[in-house]
Copies of this chain bind each other. A is one copy, B any other.
Amino acid sequence: MKKFVHVCMTPALIDQFDVSEAIVVVIDILRATTTMCVALDNGAEVIVPVENIETCRSYQEHGFLIAGERSGEQLAGFDFGNSPFSFNRETIEDKKLAITTTNGTRAIKAAQDRNAKAIVVGSFCNITALTNWLIKQNEHVCLLCAGWRDNVTLEDTIFAGALARKLRHNFRRFQDTALVAETLFNSANTRKRYFFRNSSHFQRLIHLELQEEVKYAMRRDTHPVIPIMIGDGLYDISFCQDDFQSYVE
């Protein structure tokens, strides 16, 4: 019997699916999970996602670089904002990073609180690597959209639909949300401009002149890495296969 793939459209609905028997893919396309993939692919040793600004700042004393912004502005005293463009090899290779994000971190915590079997991070920039890895694991999968303050957001649902579609021959859909998300992705894929114009979060970012970042977050397979949570941090799975095995078993 095939395993289930479930699309959870916001963390507020996580209790509809038992994630203790599933790999949870956390999705926060604009921009947390995109940025995380970029930083790990460019050699960051670990990324600790933190909800609170002061907690994030305290990591600096322990030799971490810190990244964060609120309302589009880099936070005072922080090394980086949340732009994926900040994290190139020169700035991040072999460094430890703490990053403060609201929605992405809350989604990770929601999955941890329900004892998810494993937590990985998804974005267009790692979609094919992630698809292949998920198929290989043969576990139930929950695509957890971080959304925005428990609201459903267009870009996270579109990505969940893109991934659900790639998984559909190897998994069964749990409830109707995977079909809703796939349909949305199919429409968005042929009418990008329409969706950009109408999405609330796209609009917020474009207002901040972050068009290039939005475009980059939509590009596929630019960073084929699988970030996985081990303890409080995200690691590149290819450097910690043993740890991962002991974590999920």
Contact = CB atoms under 8 A, between A and B. Distances in A.
A175 interface: yes
A201 to B, nearest CB: 8
A199 interface: yes
A105 to B, nearest CB: 19
B16 A13 contact: no
Contacts of A154: 176, 179-180
Contact of A151 (B12, B16, B179, B188): B16
Interface string A1-38: 00000000110110010000000000000000000000
A86 interface: no
Contact of A13 (B12, B153, B177, B183): B12
A151 B180 contact: no
Contacts of A16: 12, 149-151
A135 interface: no
A199 B176 contact: yes
A200 interface: yes
A132 interface: no
Contacts of A195: 179
Contacts of A157: 176, 180
Contacts of A10: 13
A148 B200 CA distance: 27
A51 B187 CA distance: 38
Given A13-B150, A16-B151, A198 B177 contact: no
Contacts of A148: 175
Interface string A167-206: 0000001011101100110111000000100111100000
A237 interface: no
A186 B200 CA distance: 20
A169 to B, nearest CB: 14
A175 B187 contact: no
A151 B153 CA distance: 17
Interface of A: 9-10, 12-13, 16, 148-154, 157, 173, 175-177, 179-180, 183-184, 186-188, 195, 198-201
